[in-house]
Amino acid sequence: MLFQLRNIKYAGILDLPEADIPEGKVTCIFGESGAGKTTVLRMLNHLISPDEGTIKYRDKDVMDYDPVELRRSVVMLGQHPAMFPGTIADNLQIGRLFADKEQVSDDDLRAMLKLIKLDKPLDGEVETLSGGEQQRVALGRVLLMDPDVLLLDEPSSALDEDTEHMIIERVVQWAKDKQRTLVMVTHARWVVENYGDELLELAHGHRKGDGSHE
C-alpha cells in the first residue's frame, strides 16, 4: 500500500482505526460536511499531524520525511488555491519552481490550458479571471508539477456542472495515463461512482463501509 493510516485521531473530529490508499489508483474520500475528509487529505503530506496514530507513505512515517521533499512528491490542491501576482503563464510555471523542476515551454503551457479547458492567453493577468477560471489555473499548475501523488480537495467546486464533469474526467485520465496516484475529496456521488477505484467514506469522523461503492 502507498499510504497506511492506523489508529488516527485528531481534534475530536476524526477517529479512523484503519485505512489504506493504493498506488496508481483513484481514491475518493467521500462524506458529509464536517466528516473529516479534508483533514485526512492534509495529513497525507504532513500539512497537519494526527494527535494519535501513524501515517506511512511508502512504508515510512510521513513525519520522518523532509516536509519540502514530501510535498514535492505528494502535492495537494486545496479548495481555495492561491493565485500569485502576474500572468497565467507565471502561475502555471511557479509550481515547477517549487518542485525544483525546469520550466516548461509555452507549447506545453498551451497544451495544459487546453486540458483544463481554459481559452485564455498565456500573458493574461490572473486577477482578471473568474473564480472557476482561477481554480483551473491552479489545477493546471499542480498537474505541471507532475507529482507522484496528487491530492485534490473538491477540485471542481467553483465550476458549472458541464465544465465540472469534463475537468474531473480529464484529470482522472491524466492520472491513469501517467500511472499516478490520485486522492480526491468529493461530495459528489457521481464522481465516486464513475471514477473512484477505491472509496474512503467518512461519517462524523468515522469510517463508513468497506471501501466498495456499495
Residue 80, pLDDT score:
87
Residue 69, pLDDT score:
96
Residue 32, pLDDT score:
87
Please identify every stretch of the chain with a pLDDT value under 50, giving residue numbers as ranges: none
Q: Are strands 198-203 and 206-208 parallel, antiparallel or unpaired?
A: antiparallel
- Distance between CA 19 and CA 5 in Å, rounded? 5
Residue 209, pLDDT score:
62
Residue 170, pLDDT score:
95
C-alpha cell at position 43: 495529513
- Distance between CA 34 and CA 38 in Å, rounded? 9
Q: Are 15 and 9 in contact (CB under 8 A)?
A: yes
In the block, residue with C-alpha cell 464513475: 194
- Break the chain into its structural domains and give their ranges: 22-47+67-208
What are 76's strand-pairing partners?
Answer: 151
The fold adopted by the segment(s) 22-47+67-208 is Rossmann fold (3.40.50)
- Distance between CA 46 and CA 24 in Å, rounded? 20
List, in sequence order, the alpha helices (H) in 17-129: 37-44, 67-73, 88-98, 106-115
Residue 33, pLDDT score:
86
> Is 0.75 surpassed by the pTM of this model?
yes
C-alpha cell at position 116: 483544463
